[in-house]
Chain A
Amino acid sequence: QQQVKQSPQSLIVQKGGISIINCAYENTAFDYFPWYQQFPGKGPALLIAIRPDVSEKKEGRFTISFNKSAKQFSLHIMDSQPGDSATYFCAGPRAGYALNFGKGTSLLVTP
């Protein structure tokens, strides 16, 4: 199984600030690095993902940065908004097409 460890467990950011969540992985055979977003009462949904052959991917206010040598990838949320308040999960592949998820980071963006 591919294990991922994310930090911090929780995060409070003021509106307009930058939210940063980190994820460390164990196995260099990873070929895909996704972040999922989950709102209360809903299932997780894919937010953004990156392949290991690029170091950064940006989609709107969301950016994934990938550091192969450190075996880490991080999620940056620029100009954080109260609507971004959710739980964020990084994930890594396991045998087949299933995913192992990190424990999650609860983000609260205050007005």
Chain B
Amino acid sequence: DAGVIQSPRHEVTEMGQEVTLRCKPISGHDYLFWYRQTMMRGLELLIYFNNNVPIDDSGMPEDRFSAKMPNASFSTLKIQPSEPRDSAVYFCASSSTPGLAGEYNTGELFFGEGSRLTVL
């Protein structure tokens, strides 16, 4: 498998512009996560999906952020309008449901290489 694929790898845009980040999870994985990484705040969970349904979006910072997962092989994270403080590396990760009830959470997330966003 090619792993989690993210695009674009780098994005430079001006304040106020719309930004769309894309993610293709590992085939067969039923969980998809969007994280944001900054020096100050570290790795923050923004939102995650299970079977294409958003489960927890409490980490989405503002209404300017939205995420969709129209099918099992594609997700987008959109920022509209973008602001300089949104500059960060955005990671997509996927995982599969741990085994039968009673087994511990394996917790292994497979990350993409990230999309580095710079908002001027």
Q: Are B45 and A31 in contact (CB under 8 A)?
A: no
Chain B residues contacting A34 (CB-CB under 8 Å) are 107-108
Number of interface residues of B (CB under 8 A): 27
Of chain A, the residue at the smallest CB distance from B114 is A43
Quick one: which of B13-32 are within 8 Å of A by CB?
31
Q: Are B113 and A32 in contact (CB under 8 A)?
A: no
Q: Which one of B48, B93, B108, B114 lies within 8 Å of A96 (CB-CB)? A: B48
* 0/1 interface trace, chain A 33-45, chain B, CB 8 Å (1 if under): 0100000011111
Quick one: which of A6-44 are within 8 Å of B by CB?
31-32, 34, 41-44
Query: Helix, strand, loop or mixed for chain B's interface?
Result: strand
Q: Please, how many angstroms separate the alpha-carbon atoms of A100 and B105 in the complex?
A: 14
Quick one: which of A31-67 are within 8 Å of B by CB?
31-32, 34, 41-46, 49, 51
Query: Helix, strand, loop or mixed for chain A's interface?
Result: loop
Chain A residues contacting B110 (CB-CB under 8 Å) are 45
Chain B residues contacting A98 (CB-CB under 8 Å) are 31, 33, 45, 48, 56
Q: Are B105 and A95 in contact (CB under 8 A)?
A: no
A–B pairs, 29, beta carbons within 8 Å: A31-B104, A32-B107, A34-B107, A42-B113, A42-B114, A43-B111, A43-B114, A44-B43, A44-B109, A45-B110, A46-B107, A46-B109, A49-B107, A89-B42, A89-B43, A91-B107, A95-B56, A96-B31, A96-B48, A96-B50, A96-B55, A97-B31, A97-B95, A97-B97, A98-B48, A98-B56, A99-B107, A101-B35, A103-B42
**B residues within 8 Å of A by Cβ?**
4, 31, 33, 35, 42-43, 45, 48, 50, 55-56, 91, 93, 95, 97-98, 104-114
**A residues within 8 Å of B by Cβ?**
31-32, 34, 41-46, 49, 51, 89, 91, 93-104
